Amino acid sequence: MASFEAEVQQVERGTFVRVAGTIDEDNELAPLAARIRGETALISLAGITEINNCGVRDWVRWLDEVQGKGSVVVLLECSPAIVAQLNQVSNFAGKAFVKSFYVPYFCQTCDAEKSILVDIDELEVPKTQFPGRDAVPSAPTCRCDTCDAVMAFDDLEESYFAFVKSVRREIPDPLLDAIEEIAPSGGERKIVTRGAMSSTFTGILSTVGTGAGSFGGSTSVPSAGALRRLRDKTGMRSTRRAEPTDEHANLPRKRSNLVWLGAIGAAAIIAAVAIVVMMR
């Protein structure tokens, strides 16, 4: 289990914070609050692999403290572990904006797996006929780097993207300008392949990690896609008792009909014999 690590960079318009590892009861979030200055605080969460109940409690308190100092908080590069908490804990993001997060994919052709960084603005949230009840967005199209096939989203859209409807995602232009100034220069879209995550924070800073959340570097619940592929490869099927088919369900009725037919036939034979005897 990777320990908690943090890096803080201060610039004129705000502070850039990058945290990685595990947020649990041994986290060191508290000292970071005093190091955050300026009107904007950008927090990169790409390297967070796990967060437990104690970590969630401390995170919510820490985020509230940072926001109480007057800083506008923007969450960047949220790992799948963070996305899970955004979906489960209603106040996990507090009043912070969520700008980007990682989306997992797998290739049904060659079994390759990767995650791509997606800006929340890229997701289209379909409107429904019910006011205030938008539909869940769909995963962006992603092609495989190995075979160029269209990859499949490696989770359930209804659950993975549920948080998008509840967090602050419409970032005003002045704040976007501040993000461009504070955040380290990017470039191409960041891609994370599912491998063993580097245990050193240096590796996380230089490569944005080689795994996050449900990636190979930490224990986690397998995604729905992973479970389906495991089932297909091993031939395992559900152990639930099979429901009777229509043919099996009708067997008692068929047997009952045969009994009645036999009884009627026997009665007819007895009656015929009796008539023959009487005629003699």
Regarding whether 192 and 269 lie in a shared domain, the answer is: no
Q: Does residue 25 carry a pLDDT above 60?
A: yes
Give the distance from CA 232 to its chain's centroid. 21
- Global pTM reads 0.66
127 Cβ contact list (under 8 Å, min separation 6): 134, 135
- Rounded to whole angstroms, the Cα distance separating 163 from 93 reads 10
Non-local CB neighbours of 126 within 8 Å, separated by 6+ positions: 134, 135, 137
Cβ neighbours for 216, distance < 8 A, ≥ 6 positions apart: 194, 195, 196, 197
Q: What is the pLDDT of residues 140-158, one digit of tens each?
A: 899 999 999 999 999 998 8
State the burial class of residue 68 (Cβ atoms within 10 Å of its Cβ: 0-12, 13-18, 19+). exposed
For residue 229, the one-letter residue type is R
Q: Is residue 138 part of a domain?
A: yes
Please tell me the total count of domains within the chain: 2
Question: Cα(first)–Cα(last) distance of the chain, in Å?
Answer: 101
Tell me if 240 is assigned to some domain.
Answer: no
Whole-number Å distance between alpha carbons of 106 and 142: 9
Same domain for 19 and 132: yes
Q: Which of 14-23, 48-57, 253-262 has the lowest mean pLDDT?
A: 253-262
User: 70-100 pLDDT, tens per residue?
Assistant: 999 999 999 999 999 999 999 999 999 999 9
- In terms of pLDDT, which residue wins out, 258 or 160? 160
CA distance linking residue 26 with residue 181, whole number of Å: 32
Same domain? 179 vs 254: no
Our measurement of the distance from residue 216's CA atom to the centroid of its chain's CA atoms, rounded to an integer in Å, reads 15
- The residue with tokens 């190995």 is 146
Q: Do 14 and 138 share a domain, yes or no?
A: yes
Domain that holds residue 275: 248-279
Residues 63 and 153 in one domain: yes
Question: Residue 44 contacts by C-beta under 8 Å, 6 or more apart in sequence?
Answer: 16, 17, 18, 19, 76, 77
Measured torsion, CA atoms of residues 150, 82, 21, 194, in degrees rounded to the nearest 10: -10
Residue 153: inside a domain: yes
The 10s digit of each residue's pLDDT in 38-76 is: 899 999 999 999 999 999 999 999 999 999 989 999 999
Region 110-134: mean pLDDT is 77
Q: Give the integer Cα–Cα distance in Å for 93 and 120.
A: 14
Query: Tokens 């229509």 sit at which residue?
Result: 246
**269 shares a domain with 174:** no
Q: Are residues 28 and 103 in the same domain?
A: yes
d(CA 230, CA 137): 27
How far is CA 35 from its chain centroid?
Answer: 32
Cβ distance 15 to 37 under 8 Å?
yes
Residues 30, 88 within the same domain: yes
Kind and range of the H or E run holding 18: strand 14-23
The DSSP letter of residue 212 is -
CA-nearest of 190, 245, 211, 280 to 48 is: 211
Same domain for 143 and 260, yes or no, is no
